[in-house]
């Protein structure tokens, strides 16, 4: 059984009540590929951007154990082993393979995974079997017309879907997966990328819908203008605060997201040890490592 929401508030920085709980995390860059085409997402290999979808490298499940060992030596406050990319964690088998190894070798660590949710329902039992403690699902809209403006398409069972049809499939699978896993006792966090021009008036509906599906905590992430949405603007502080207040009517809202890299290591807001941990593991640094499907 996954650990409780109350325990996560003391061990996981994304569930802290107040600004910080002093807990660190290691993000393991395991997952190279993705199965959806978010219009704001441009995955990249570098050591300077601070945003999701960016990593210095992609490592193997076996290398992840070595990375955890070294991370704990330099930062004993790490209590969470997370996988959040740089692609989607369920689009390839490596994340679940890694969590199986972590369950055996580091059972004391909180196991945390992020996904776009397209394969969440059909992989739900696998997620439970490897002992993941908390799951984050990115749900940017629950209206297919809005989602289609944020996501060009999906790869679903070997077929490429686009537009509203793709959005309908994605939303259905996200909400179905959230319900299955929340019913099984897992703590779920939902992220929404806040794009004022597209889903700015839709945040409250997303919060209400995911709460009804069983999500426990909600995180509104301001857009980083990038890729096909590079001309859209980041929401200002007042817009973000209004969105948080509306969402708070339905669900607890996380207020101190750092928009972490896929290879972040350490306590959020403090020293990052990613370069130190991953500098000897930079094997797969080609752009063609990132693929759909």
Q: Please check the confidence at residue 106 and state whether its pLDDT lies above 60.
A: yes
pLDDT tens, 127-144? 999 999 999 999 999 999
Considering only residues 290 and 91, tell me which one the structure prediction assigns the higher pLDDT.
91
pTM of the model: 0.89
What integer pLDDT is reported at residue 284 of this predicted model? Answer: 46
What integer pLDDT is reported at residue 255 of this predicted model? Answer: 77
- Its CATH architecture, for the domain 5-281, is Alpha-Beta Barrel (3.20)
What integer pLDDT is reported at residue 275 of this predicted model? Answer: 82
Which value, in Å, is the radius of gyration of the alpha carbons in the chain?
17
Cis peptide before 89 (omega within 30 of 0): no
Spatial strand order in the sheet of 187-194:
252-254, 217-222, 187-194, 134-138, 110-115, 78-83, 24-27, 265-266
pLDDT tens, 18-41? 556 567 889 999 999 999 999 998
3-state secondary structure of 38: strand
Domain ranges of the chain: 5-281
Minimal CA–CA distance to 60: which of 85, 86, 26, 28? Answer: 28
Query: Above pLDDT 90, what percent of the chain?
Result: 69
Cβ(141)–Cβ(167) below 8 Å: yes
pLDDT tens, 237-265? 999 999 999 999 999 998 766 677 878 88
pLDDT tens, 61-73? 999 999 999 999 9
Distance CA 121, CA 213 (A): 13
List b or e across 145-166, with b for residues whose CB sees 16 or more CB atoms inside 10 angstroms. Answer: ebbbbbbbbbbbeeeebeeeeb
Cβ(205)–Cβ(139) below 8 Å: no
Q: With helix as H, strand as E and coil as C, how does 183-205 read?
A: HCCCEEEEEEEECHHHHCCCHHH
pLDDT band at 288; cut points 50, 70, 90? very low
What integer pLDDT is reported at residue 11 of this predicted model? Answer: 65
Minimal CA–CA distance to 141: which of 152, 154, 150? Answer: 150
DSSP 231-287: TSPPP-HHHHHHHHHHHTTTSEEE-------TT-EESTTS---HHHHHTT------G
3-state secondary structure of 10: helix
């Amino acid at each position: 059984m996954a650990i409780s929401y109350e325990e996560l508030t003391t061990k996981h920085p994304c569930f802290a009540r107040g600004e910080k709980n002093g807990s660190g995390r290691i993000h393991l860059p395991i997952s190279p590929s993705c199965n959806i085409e978010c219009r704001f997402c441009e995955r990249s290999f570098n050591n300077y951007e601070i945003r999701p979808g960016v990593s210095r490298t992609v490592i193997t499940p076996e290398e992840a154990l070595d990375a955890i060992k070294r991370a704990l030596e330099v930062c004993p406050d790490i209590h969470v082993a997370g996988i959040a990319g740089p692609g989607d964690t369920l689009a390839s088998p490596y994340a679940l393979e890694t969590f199986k190894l972590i369950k055996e070798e580091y059972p004391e660590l909180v196991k945390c995974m992020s996904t776009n949710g397209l394969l969440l329902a059909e992989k739900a039992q696998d997620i439970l079997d490897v002992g993941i403690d908390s799951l984050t699902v990115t749900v940017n809209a629950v209206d297919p017309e809005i989602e289609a403006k944020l996501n060009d398409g999906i790869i679903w069972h070997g077929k490429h879907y686009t537009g509203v049809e793709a959005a309908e499939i994605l939303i259905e699978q996200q909400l179905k997966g959230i319900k299955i896993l929340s019913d099984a006792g897992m703590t779920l966090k939902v992220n929404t990328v806040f794009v004022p021009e597209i889903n700015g008036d839709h945040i409250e509906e997303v919060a209400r819908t995911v709460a009804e599906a069983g999500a426990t905590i909600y995180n509104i992430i301001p857009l980083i203008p990038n890729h096909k949405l590079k001309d859209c603007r980041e929401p200002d502080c007042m817009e973000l605060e209004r969105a948080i207040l509306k969402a708070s009517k339905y669900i607890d809202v996380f207020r101190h997201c750092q928009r972490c890299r896929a290879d972040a290591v350490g306590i959020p807001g403090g020293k990052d040890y990613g370069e130190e941990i991953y500098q000897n593991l930079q094997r797969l640094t080609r752009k063609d490592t990132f693929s759909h499907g």
